[in-house]
């Protein structure tokens, strides 16, 4: 689905504000998915989400974060991550039985809310909520520190960013994407549309064109756990190679806005691109199965 400049200008004004897979990452993932889903899928989810604009996915991409700390939404607080109890950089790996908390994790939540979306007997409000969780969690699972246990996913590792003290998780969630895109001045949707357009072009005919054909291999609605675990382990491997390749202790107190940033940029762009492309494929599968149509085509 292509965005007209007029539609963007009008539609963005009606979208909720967000401060910053901080918000920038999640919204960009959603716009990329909007660029690749089939027309029938777009119509299907526009109906579920009660939004017939181009922003039907992006407008709810950060909803799961907005409710996780509320009294009502606190039940979902553990659903955003899976704590890999590995020992980076000597060993990186996620094990579902070992690492998923009893009340759930991002892997089990992708399974749970996908199954709810496929259950057409559920109330529309339940399926609306399930769609918003799936859209968000597909983004979360591609952020390396959402699949790592060390220091609570990097939240307990204090580093510097332009001489200011922040935690490592925030650097990967927000600081790096914001520096990549420049000042957003409280307009993450505008910045995300532009970033998504660039990454979409790279997927269609640029540096990701060849590799992207492999990104949706092994997707299975019949086994969402295995599918999501594949994504989780792929993201987790980046903890050893790029998040703290020399170990968590060596990064404490370090300034990360220089060489570290330069090495992280291509990783974050790749993960956001993968998340958006895979979200499109996942939503296509859901819409096709729920509506009784054919399976996902070989090419999106």
Which are the catalytic amino acids?
A: 21, 26, 65, 68, 80, 136, 140, 146, 169, 173
Residue 96: its H or E element: helix 96-99
Using only C-alpha atoms, what is the Rg of the chain?
18
- Which two tokens mark 40? 């029938």
- Among residues 287, 300, 289, 278, the alpha carbon closest in space to that of 33 is found at 278
How far apart are the C-alpha atoms of 45 and 53, rounded to whole Å?
11
Q: How many angstroms separate the CA atoms of 279 and 128, rounded?
A: 16
Instruction: Give the span between the Cα atoms of 258 and 127, in whole angstroms.
Output: 44
Q: Which residues of 136-171 are buried (b: 16+ CB within 10 A; e: fewer)?
A: bbbbbbbbbbbbbbbbebbeebebebeeeebbbbbb
Per-residue DSSP letter, 58: G
User: Tokens representing 291?
Assistant: 């509506």
CA gap 226, 232 in Å, rounded: 10
**Could you tell me the two tokens for 222?**
């019949």
Which residue is it, tokens 């089939």? 38
């Amino acid at each position: 689905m292509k965005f007209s400049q007029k539609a963007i200008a009008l539609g963005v004004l009606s979208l909720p504000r967000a401060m910053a897979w901080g918000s920038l990452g999640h919204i960009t993932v959603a716009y990329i998915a909007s660029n690749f889903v089939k027309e029938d899928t777009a119509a299907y989810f526009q109906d579920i989400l009660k939004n017939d604009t181009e922003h039907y996915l992006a407008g709810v991409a950060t909803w799961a974060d907005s409710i996780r700390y509320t009294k009502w939404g606190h039940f979902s607080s553990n659903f955003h991550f899976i704590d890999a109890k590995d020992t980076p950089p000597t060993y990186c790996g996620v094990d579902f039985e070992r690492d998923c908390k009893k009340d759930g994790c991002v892997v089990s939540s992708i399974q749970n809310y996908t199954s709810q979306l496929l259950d057409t007997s559920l109330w529309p409000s339940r399926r609306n909520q399930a769609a918003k969780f799936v859209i968000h969690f597909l983004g979360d699972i591609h952020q390396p520190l959402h699949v790592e246990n060390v220091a609570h996913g990097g939240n307990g590792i204090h580093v510097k960013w332009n001489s200011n003290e922040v935690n490592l998780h925030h650097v990967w969630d927000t600081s790096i994407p914001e520096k990549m895109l420049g000042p957003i001045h409280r307009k993450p949707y505008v910045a995300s549309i532009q970033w998504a357009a660039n990454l979409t072009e790279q997927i269609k005919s640029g540096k990701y064109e060849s590799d992207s054909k492999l990104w949706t291999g092994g997707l299975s609605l019949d086994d969402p756990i295995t599918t999501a675990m594949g994504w989780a382990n792929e993201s987790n491997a980046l903890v050893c190679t790029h998040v703290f390749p020399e170990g968590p202790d060596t990064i404490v107190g370090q300034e990360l806005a220089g060489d570290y940033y330069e090495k992280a940029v291509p990783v974050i762009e790749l993960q956001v691109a993968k998340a958006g492309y895979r979200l499109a494929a996942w939503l296509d599968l859901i819409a096709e199965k729920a509506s009784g149509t054919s399976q996902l085509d070989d090419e999106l």
